[in-house]
Amino acid sequence: MNYPTGLALGVVALTLAGCPQQPAKTPGTTPTASPTASPTASPSVTARATPSSGVKRVAMFIPHKDLFWRDFLGFMEAASKQLGLKLEVHLANNNRELMKEQVRRATTGEGRVDAVVFQNFKECGADLLKIANEGGVPAFMVNAGVGESCGVPRGRYTHWIGNMESDGNGAGYSLACLLIDEAKRRGLAGADGKVHMIALAGIVSDAGSSERVLGLKRAVAGHDDVVLHQVVPTDWSREEGRRKAEVLLKRFPETAVVWGASDPLALGAMESVRALGRKPGEDVLLGGFDWTREALEAVRSGDLYVTIGGHFMEGGWVMVLLHDYFKGNDSADKQLNFLTPMGPITKKNLDRFALAIGAADWSKFEFRSLTQPTGAYTFDPTETLVKLGRK
């Protein structure tokens, strides 16, 4: 899939032996409504769609190209085709001002789209919501949400119709615990009896990275036998992950654990570990996020201990919600905020999910089976892979 700038393009349960279960948000097998989705924030009449004919155009705005966004868009595009929606993708090249302009163009004039989907990229989510609201175009926030200052969907921004994000804090905590516990089990503590760690974060102003790092620090704070030497920001790329990991590994040679805020960062660090004459998966444990095919291959080989993910499916789930919205079946009657659970894949459960992710034939999943439910919406990444694995 190509990404020309501004152009249209046609859980696993966690059992952590050494970490007390104290997620920042209440995780579950399925996304649930957050406490902020209260009855007091009644949906605005102007935010509700009325059934109409014609193909609906949905514009998705992504910050950059990487393995995560490749899989995110692949799943989202499969959903859009099956549900009869037209997906248009805009690439911002890590420039939030460009993203604002792209959203402005998509929500004004005769050629404006029927809905926009975006994340809180570099803390510009509030601006994007305002732009979409002024254009009268329904907006759905996905992947990384905004703070309480923006209120709730259907509140201040009446055309902000919903929010879906992953529990980054809880997932960052879980990744740290999994790596720490395994390092202790393998006897990788330093001469001082402590497990030494370094961490690679994403862009400083990205809410997704910030939440994961908060979870990491929360996990470390609960262990007096763990030393987190340094957390460094990156641009999310594998190359920068490799370069910065090399610097840190030389600076802190006692490092036994590398925590990465994404799979590309963890894979880049893996290259540095090997280049410095050490053995990834043996004397240095690494883990990341995203469930990318490349990370699963590294898990199978033993170079990567764990990848946590499932959130790349959020684009597909949002298309389900928009499909129902356009049909006059508004999710606001059920919930406004959705929390996506993320789960770990290690060698222990790899064979259960690797085939489905590796094939990436998301068109085989029956997205229509999720539309217009009689009860709450059920969006479960783990169950999706299980169903695909049976086909």
Residues 105, 162: one domain? yes
Judge whether 1 lies within some domain: no
pLDDT (tens digit per residue) in 329-365: 887 777 889 988 889 999 999 988 887 787 778 998 9
What pLDDT is attached to residue 40?
Answer: 28
Q: Which domain holds residue 213?
A: 169-289
Of the listed ranges 34-48, 127-141, 246-260, 373-387, the one predicted with least confidence:
34-48
What pLDDT is attached to residue 299?
Answer: 97
**What is the separation of C-alpha 130 from the centre of its chain, rounded to a whole number of angstroms?**
23
Of the listed ranges 45-59, 137-151, 215-229, the one predicted with least confidence:
45-59
pLDDT-derived band at 49 (thresholds 50, 70, 90) equals low
pLDDT (tens digit per residue) in 178-207: 999 999 999 999 999 999 999 999 999 888
pLDDT at 105 over 90: yes
Residues 50, 157: one domain? yes
Query: Mean pLDDT over all residues of the chain?
Result: 86
How many whole angstroms separate alpha carbon 324 and alpha carbon 241? Answer: 40
pLDDT at 296 over 60: yes
pLDDT at 375 over 80: yes
What SS3 class is residue 386?
helix
pLDDT at 76 over 60: yes
Judge whether 197 lies within some domain: yes
Residues 178, 271: one domain? yes
pLDDT at 32 over 50: no
Judge whether 36 lies within some domain: no
Q: In the chain, what is the straight-line distance between the N-terminal and C-terminal CA atoms, in Å?
A: 25
What total of structural domains would you count in the chain?
A: 2
Judge whether 30 lies within some domain: no
Q: Which tokens go with 84?
A: 């009869």
Any idea what the Cα angle at residue 198 is, between residues 197 and 199, rounded to 5°?
125
Map tokens 């549900």 to a residue.
83
Residues 227, 258: one domain? yes
For residues 230-255, average pLDDT: 97
What pLDDT is attached to residue 114?
Answer: 97
Q: Which tokens go with 213?
A: 């790092």
Residues 190, 262: one domain? yes
Judge whether 314 lies within some domain: yes
What CATH number did the domain enclosing 260 receive?
Answer: 3.40.50.2300
HEC profile of 74-126: HHHHHHHHHHCEEEEEEECCCCHHHHHHHHHHHCCCCCCCCEEEECCHHHCHH
Residues 219, 152: one domain? no
How many whole angstroms separate alpha carbon 342 and alpha carbon 380? Answer: 9
Nearest residue to 207 via CA among 107, 128, 295, 89: 128
How many whole angstroms separate alpha carbon 329 and alpha carbon 165? Answer: 21
CB count in 10 Å sphere of residue 328: 11
Residues 138, 53: one domain? yes
Judge whether 301 lies within some domain: no
What pLDDT is attached to residue 290?
Answer: 92
How many whole angstroms separate alpha carbon 224 and alpha carbon 230? Answer: 16
pLDDT at 36 over 90: no
Any residues with CB less than 8 A from the CB of 219 and at least 6 apart, and which?
A: 19, 172, 173, 174, 176, 177, 180
pLDDT at 225 over 80: yes
